[in-house]
Structure 1
Amino acid sequence: MGTGRGTCFKRITASVLAAAIIAIIVAVCVVYIPRDHSINDGPKVTNKEAFKNGGARKHPSKNDGKDHADDQYTYYPGNVSNYPKKDEWVSFNHMWKSNLLKMQTACTKLGFGENNSDEENDYIKDGIQHVGKASLVDQRFILAIIMQESTGCLRVNSTDSVHGVHNPGIMQSHNGASFDEKDAKGSIRQMIKDGTQGTKAGDGLVQLLNKFPDAYSAARGYNSGALAKSGDLSDAIGATPCYASDIANRLMGWVNAASDCKKKVASVPQSDPKDVQNLNSGTDSQQQQPSTTTEQNQPSQAASSSTASSTDGSSSSTFSDGSTDGVFSGGHWDDNGNYVKNEKRRRRMKLLKNQSCLTSSVTSYDAAVAA
């Protein structure tokens, strides 16, 4: 019996020591192992309607939508009630895979030099998921904006709006960061963060989703800097009429199919930017300085324009259909990206050396991919 009591005591002692060792190890890990605090950094979506209607998501997943969709384009007219519900969107996994080939060849097709490497594309995917989790912006919405603004080309040209807002990077953010080959991973994540969570100079998707109740209205704000009083998302207020419809189609699985949007928006009345207040931050370089008249539900600052044609170099329907015309201040934008007034022309944005206007390049790019 003495031996039994001794054995039991040894077992208890060993168990206590083991528990103590485990507790010490856990404590050391908590104190000394670095943690990624950045996941909780930065602005977040707080608008309940954005979670309900689409654009914001608290628990992202790679398989958060349909795993198959036809590559087709459907023009969505009018206000948000005519747009597809979030339950109809494809999954992030499907959306990424279906757009990857286009992303892999975007830079050379657009004339911006070397294409993204496989590693760089992995950084883009990782950055979307990381920033999406931190900001609560649906990662599919982030990817749709990237494809609209730059087709994911890291070396996309930066652009400047007519009122001097600089739009760099794959999301053509508001005076944000651009790609740095010496810090590929860090600069890619920063570009995505700038476009999603905004910069000191202007709004990102977070701020726009907190102002508008859905992804489509936020997309219009990202491109134009405001929403028209009519609520018609094809009224670009001098920016890209097809932008919101393009974003909706990307979320539905559109990649290369021909778009008839440009023809259909031709009959949509467009608001004059000079009649809209706070139109000082959209990324489309077709924007005008604001006047003092009021506009309903407008953001104070927006971030982008359309594929490298606005303040950040990203674009909207410019990539899909070349639609960048917008009449304002007695002039108009021609198909070559020139602002024409009294038979005088001026360039809308900075161009690469020996590079034709990006609007033309983007149009030919989509035609080449579709072929």
Structure 2
Amino acid sequence: MPFTSYSGPASNFPPKHTWKHFEEIFNINKPEMLQTGDSANDVGRIWNAVNEAAKKHGVEERIIFCIIMQESTGNVGVGTTTNQDHHGTAGLMQCMESLGFPGQHNLTQPQITSMVMAGTEHYKGNLKQEGDKDTADCIYKALRLYNSGSINEGNLSDGKGATNSYVSDIANRLQGKTR
């Protein structure tokens, strides 16, 4: 199913009751993760890391996982990139606070967990900035902050120099759609 383009305020994005369950989203995306060169063990360790980070930071598993898919397609060996402020971002969640393992696969559980913990902690800071509520409205705004560091509440597809479609893409992923 193709991605739908969402824009405008958070109220224009899909409500939580349209989101798939974590296990379903994860299973839909397994083939895409395996195509990156990830081993079955890497994929299993991503599952473990997402669950551990969700429990530790109080962030929904499906949000963490959809950020992973958006940022790295679940590729544990994803390269380090530079954001619009010229800061290096690394790891599964392409986070400034994360270590990366470019080109490597068959990583250990601690290596994968460290990447997911760093990204989840960064996202949680954005969620706190938006009221730390488990509502679609707060989540979508926190996603915009995660990607661009700033927010136009009237249009979450205004990337302010970052990826305009970021929040829309994750909204689609939460509904079980893939690229």
TM-score, scaled relative to structure 2: 0.90
1:251 corresponds to: 174
- Per the TM alignment, residue 143 of structure 1 is displaced from its structure 2 partner at its CA by 0.6
1:232 corresponds to: 155
Q: Secondary structure at the match of 2:108?
A: helix
1:211 equivalenced with 2:134 (yes/no): no
- Per the TM alignment, residue 168 of structure 1 is displaced from its structure 2 partner at its CA by 0.7
- In structure 1, stretches of 5+ residues that fail to align are 1-70, 107-114, 198-203, 257-371
- Per the TM alignment, residue 178 of structure 1 is displaced from its structure 2 partner at its CA by 1.5
Q: Which amino acid in the other structure matches residue 194 of structure 1?
A: A
- Per the TM alignment, residue 182 of structure 1 is displaced from its structure 2 partner at its CA by 8.2
Q: Which has the higher contact order (CA 8 A, sep 6+)?
A: 2
Amino-acid identity (%): 35
2:27 corresponds to: 97
Distance 1:238 1:226, change over 3 A: same
- Per the TM alignment, residue 174 of structure 1 is displaced from its structure 2 partner at its CA by 1.3
Task: From 130, 142, 145, give the equivalent of 1:221.
Answer: 145
User: Matches of 1:185 and 1:220 in 2, distance apart?
Assistant: 29
Matches within 5 A, 1:319-338: none
Q: Deviations over 1:309-331 (max 9, x none)?
A: xxxxxxxxxxxxxxxxxxxxxxx
User: Matches of 2:7 and 2:84 in 1, distance apart?
Assistant: 28
TM-score, scaled relative to structure 1: 0.44
Q: Which amino acid in the other structure matches residue 225 of structure 1?
A: G
Distance 1:104 1:77, change over 3 A: same
- Per the TM alignment, residue 160 of structure 1 is displaced from its structure 2 partner at its CA by 2.1
Task: From 84, 106, 110, give the equivalent of 1:186.
Answer: 110
Q: Secondary structure at the match of 1:75?
A: coil
Q: Deviations over 1:188-224 (max 9, x none)?
A: 0000000001xxxxxx111111111521111110111
- Per the TM alignment, residue 175 of structure 1 is displaced from its structure 2 partner at its CA by 3.4
User: Matches of 1:97 and 1:239 in 2, distance apart?
Assistant: 29
Which has the greater radius of gyration? 1
Matches within 5 A, 1:33-44: none
Task: From 55, 72, 97, give the equivalent of 1:175.
Answer: 97
User: Matches of 2:83 and 2:75 in 1, distance apart?
Assistant: 20
- Per the TM alignment, residue 183 of structure 1 is displaced from its structure 2 partner at its CA by 5.5
> What is the number of residues matched between the two proteins?
171
Q: Secondary structure at the match of 1:132?
A: helix
Contact 1:166 1:175 in 2 (8 A): no
2:6 corresponds to: 76
- Per the TM alignment, residue 181 of structure 1 is displaced from its structure 2 partner at its CA by 5.9
Task: From 70, 78, 97, give the equivalent of 1:148.
Answer: 70
2:42 corresponds to: 120
Distance 1:172 1:225, change over 3 A: same
Distance 1:117 1:81, change over 3 A: same
User: Matches of 1:190 and 1:76 in 2, distance apart?
Assistant: 32
User: Matches of 1:178 and 1:125 in 2, distance apart?
Assistant: 18
- Per the TM alignment, residue 231 of structure 1 is displaced from its structure 2 partner at its CA by 2.4
Contact 1:165 1:175 in 2 (8 A): no
User: Matches of 1:136 and 1:159 in 2, distance apart?
Assistant: 27
Distance 1:163 1:80, change over 3 A: closer
Q: Secondary structure at the match of 1:155?
A: coil
1:196 equivalenced with 2:114 (yes/no): no
Q: Deviations over 1:298-353 (max 9, x none)?
A: xxxxxxxxxxxxxxxxxxxxxxxxxxxxxxxxxxxxxxxxxxxxxxxxxxxxxxxx
Matches within 5 A, 1:20-39: none
Q: Deviations over 1:39-89 (max 9, x none)?
A: xxxxxxxxxxxxxxxxxxxxxxxxxxxxxxxx3321112000111111211
